[in-house]
């Protein structure tokens, strides 16, 4: 049943969001801290269980993979609802700070990736 897959995904996201909010409360921030990551780990854990009783059938899987396929369209919609107008009208200091922060972060990716590769070899 497709709904089994959708429901499992929904369950993971809700559990993750509750955990993320709890972490937020613990560190004194009104935000969902890491909820998506926790939900992803939970989904990975539950769908990799070896037990035969808890094995999704191919049709149930499509309840999850449908949403994976909807990811890009959802991101396009997300782009279309961004507050681009006020971002560009925020003033030069905001534009420069945003651009340079991205540039510096991009530049650091290869360096950290190389470090990760080296620690692997040891």
Binders of another protein among residues 7 to 36 (CB under 8 A) are: 9-10, 12-13, 16-17, 20, 23-24, 27, 29, 31, 33-36
Least distance from another protein to the Cβ atom of residue 25, Å: 11
Least distance from another protein to the Cβ atom of residue 20, Å: 8
At residue 88, what are phi and psi to the nearest 5 degrees?
-75, -20
Is 43 a binder of another protein (CB under 8 A)? yes
- Return the number of other C-beta atoms located less than 10 Å from residue 91's C-beta: 9
Contacting another protein (CB under 8 A), which of 52, 58, 104, 122?
104
Q: How many H helices and E strands in the chain?
A: 6, 0
Cα separations in angstroms, 25 against 28, 33, 46, 107: 5, 9, 26, 34
Least distance from another protein to the Cβ atom of residue 86, Å: 6
Binders of another protein among residues 83 to 102 (CB under 8 A) are: 83-102
Least distance from another protein to the Cβ atom of residue 111, Å: 9
Contacts of 42 (CB under 8 A, 6+ apart): 12, 15, 16
Cβ closest to another protein, residue 53 vs residue 109: 109
- Return the number of other C-beta atoms located less than 10 Å from residue 3's C-beta: 10
């Amino acid at each position: 049943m497709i709904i089994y897959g959708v429901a499992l995904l929904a369950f993971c996201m809700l559990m993750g969001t509750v955990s993320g909010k709890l972490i937020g409360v613990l560190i004194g921030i009104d935000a969902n801290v890491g909820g998506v990551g926790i939900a992803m780990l939970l989904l990975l854990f539950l769908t990799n269980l070896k037990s035969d009783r808890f094995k999704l059938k191919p049709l149930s899987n499509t309840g999850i993979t449908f949403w994976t396929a909807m990811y890009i369209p959802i991101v396009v919609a997300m782009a279309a609802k961004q507050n681009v107008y006020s971002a560009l009208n925020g003033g030069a200091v905001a534009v420069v700070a945003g651009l340079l922060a991205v540039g510096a972060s991009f530049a650091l990716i290869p360096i950290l990736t190389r470090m990760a590769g080296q620690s692997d070899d040891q």
